[in-house]
Amino acid sequence: MTKSYKEVAALSDVSLRVEPGVTGLLGPNGSGKSTLIKSLLGLVQTQQGSGSVLGMEWPQRVREIRDQVGYLPEDDCYIAGLNGIESVAFMAHLAGLPGTEGLRRAHEICDFCDIGEERYRPVESYSTGMRQKLKFAQALVHDPPFLILDEPTTGLDPDQRESMLRRIRTLYRTHGKSILLSTHILPDVRSVCDQVIMLVGGEVRIIDTLENLSRPAEPTVQIAIYGDSAPLMQRLQNDGFSVIEESDGSLRVAGIDTDQIPELWQKAAETGTSVRRLTPAMNSLDEIFFHAASETELR
């Protein structure tokens, strides 16, 4: 899809495939994440594009798609004058749940989203965290197979954030929902996502599984050490290994096969180094993110 606002290209020939599961949609501010989401829902008209969502042609059947999608907007939005339970029930009714059933379902979802007695309070009086939970309940009330969550953990305290991520995991693992999670918070992505799409400057920069992205180009181990790491580092470099000292003092040794691990222990013993932990190293999501973003800036 392609979308531009006058001279500014918001999405430039974006092409992607989202697999079932939890997919993280990453990108710096203004990278086109929200435009992509709004385009998928037909809230924004694209200049060009075609595709399918849940087997339905997009954008021709966008209203049927909306029926099957739960959307949590990033913006602080609410229906003024209604209380929490009425808001959720109203969204249920708009999605086609009949009167009393919609209200029953709204209560059920409020329980799931941990909206207690606050559900009887006007939404205007809600805190940011409560509004996030309410928007989550509204997105979920019609039991959609696909959820689009735009910054769902923004404004939540650590406990609430963990609860929200736990709910997202439950929805995927236990109930088979597919989730597109747009966020800036990289630990959230690491915590719940299987796949990552990174948008930078309106273009898809990365689209891969988190497992593939985390795997270094060559086998690498991370060695956490008690005390001074310099002797071991010197020894490994002398023996032709590529070694980098991380900011926390640990060593990152690249190009090392599994059968060379005993040799590594041997060298540590010989240099009198106490190894606290030796683990396969993973690429940091932060590095991937910054690398992709800076690559675009350089262009």
- Confirm or reject binding of residue 66 to other proteins (CB under 8 A): yes
Which phi and psi (to 5°) does residue 131 adopt?
-65, -35
Q: Where does this chain touch other proteins (CB under 8 A) — which range of 14-22, 97-105, 236-244, 255-263?
A: 97-105
Please name the helix (run of DSSP H) or strand (run of DSSP E) that holds residue 199, with its range, or none.
strand 195-200
Triad 120, 141, 34: Cα angle to 5°: 105
Q: How far is the CB of 68 from other proteins (least distance, A)?
A: 9
Do 105 and 137 meet the contact criterion of CB atoms below 8 Å apart?
A: no
Helix 158-173 × helix 128-140 angle, to 10°:
10
Which range of residues in 95-103, 152-160, 191-199, 246-254 is near other proteins by CB under 8 A?
95-103
Cβ 110 to other proteins, closest distance in Å?
Answer: 10
Told to check if 67 binds other proteins by CB under 8 A, we report yes
Distance CA 87, CA 297 (A): 43
Site for other proteins in 110-169 (CB under 8 A): 111-112, 116, 138-140, 142-143, 167
**Contacting range for other proteins; rule: CB under 8 A; set: 88-96, 192-200, 208-216, 270-278:** 88-96
Closest alpha carbon to 177 in 148, 151, 150: 148
Residue 103 interacts with other proteins (CB under 8 A): yes or no: no
Q: What angle do CA 259, 261, 265 make, to 5 degrees?
A: 145
- Binding residues for other proteins, rule: CB under 8 A, are 5, 38, 41, 43-45, 63-64, 66-67, 69, 71, 73, 75-82, 86, 90-91, 93-98, 101, 105, 108-109, 111-112, 116, 138-140, 142-143, 167, 170-171, 174-175
